[in-house]
Chain A
Amino acid sequence: MAPPKKARMASRNPSLIRGIGKFSRSKMYHKRGIWAIKAKHGGSFPHHDPKPAPTTPAAVKPPKFYPADDVKTPIPNHRKPKPTKLRASITPGTVLILLAGRFMGKRVVFLKQLPSGLLLVTGPFKINGVPLRRVNQAYVIATSTKVDISQVNTDKFDDKYFTKEKKKRAKKSEGEFFETEKEETKALPQEKKDDQKSVDTALIKAIEAVEDLKAYLGARFSLRSGMKPHELAF
């Protein structure tokens, strides 16, 4: 068995100044022991056999037709979009203040970030009427209040859960063009109500453990006289 390989030693040729070694080429030849290796292998330095040359493919016939203009081939795009970078202040369980939309001013619990980058959020529904909902990070103030979210399972929610159903439009005949389309109001499917309940029961228990937190989440946020948003600590 050959002795185990030692870690590679630093150069045997100390540098006097950057770029100039102490020993000449002939001295280094002797120091490295090339003469000894050659002697051991009968006069020539051992080498691998040269690789067989790759066979050139059969000659390609020149094409009959060249296009008039050079058309650039597009570079393939391998970019995969990532979900929006989540602000460091937003972690699962954070209380957020919604700034726009139907629930403007409501204080709401953050559950997780969906693959599209939007934030999954819930009131909880029983406390302030905000259902499981998607919300954009830009329209949200993150407070430093956190709720314990460890008992809540949010695995089944993703963007597909929230997309609107595609309406099938039947072709209109001439007479029906003048009739307005009947609006079909869809009631919320029972499955979604059950999902809301299952997420909220665990959350509400965690919320009721903290004093005043339930009333806090039920109240809306608003600016009063004298409050300067850039000086407020949230």
Chain B
Amino acid sequence: MPFKRYVEIGRVALVNYGKEYGRLVVIVDVIDQNRALVDAPDMVRGQMNFKRLSLTDIKIDIPRVPKKKTLIDAMEAADVKNKWEKSSWGRKLIVQKRRASLNDFDRFKVMLAKIKRGGAVRQELAKLKKENAA
């Protein structure tokens, strides 16, 4: 019931609206009730409304408004990239991106693979049913 992910310095968030859609950023300072100063290794530090951010579980240890180099080192130390890609949220996004980039031929191959997998599952099920009935 209580909140688990807080807006704090070092909180990693996902941008969910606007030009930077889909990018992972770190909250580096809070400007006022609605806006945060936000930074990422390959981005110019800038302000963003909290409404554009979705907080993640990941938090790193940084002082308020760190230099870019400090930020990058802290992100490496906390291994943000790997933690994100292993998390279920991160994995889902990767799969969505892969599905959207599928070629027409790729989609055909996926269909064949799904049919094959379904066939294998049904075969096993039939076997089990027979054993159970006997």
- The residues of A with any CB-CB pair to B shorter than 8 Å are 95, 97, 107, 143-145, 212-213, 215-216, 219, 221, 231-234
Contacts and interface: CB of A to CB of B under 8 A. Distances in A.
Contacts of A232: 104
B105 A233 contact: no
B105 A97 contact: no
B100 A233 contact: yes
21 contacts: A95-B105, A97-B104, A143-B104, A144-B103, A144-B104, A145-B104, A145-B105, A212-B105, A212-B108, A212-B112, A213-B105, A215-B112, A216-B108, A216-B109, A219-B108, A221-B104, A231-B100, A233-B101, A233-B102, A233-B103, A234-B104
Given A212-B108, A233-B100, 12 more contacts: A95-B105, A145-B104, A145-B105, A212-B109, A213-B105, A215-B112, A216-B109, A219-B108, A231-B100, A233-B101, A234-B103, A234-B104
Closest 9 CB pairs of A and B: A145-B105, A143-B104, A216-B108, A234-B104, A144-B103, A212-B109, A233-B101, A216-B105, A212-B112
Q: Which of A97, A213, A231, A233 has the most CB of B within 10 A?
A: A233
Interface of B: 100-105, 108-109, 112
B112 A143 contact: no
Contacts of A233: 100-103
Contacts of B104: 95, 97, 107, 143-145, 221, 232, 234
Contacts of B105: 95, 143, 145, 212-213, 216
Contacts of A219: 108
A134 B97 CA distance: 37
Contacts of B101: 233
Contacts of A145: 103-105
Contacts of A216: 105, 108-109
A140 to B, nearest CB: 13
A145 to B, nearest CB: 4
A73 to B, nearest CB: 56
A213 B106 CA distance: 10
Contacts of B100: 231, 233
A215 B109 CA distance: 10
Contacts of B109: 212, 216
A78 to B, nearest CB: 44
Contacts of B112: 212, 215
Nearest to A233: B101
Contacts of A97: 104
A233 B103 CA distance: 6
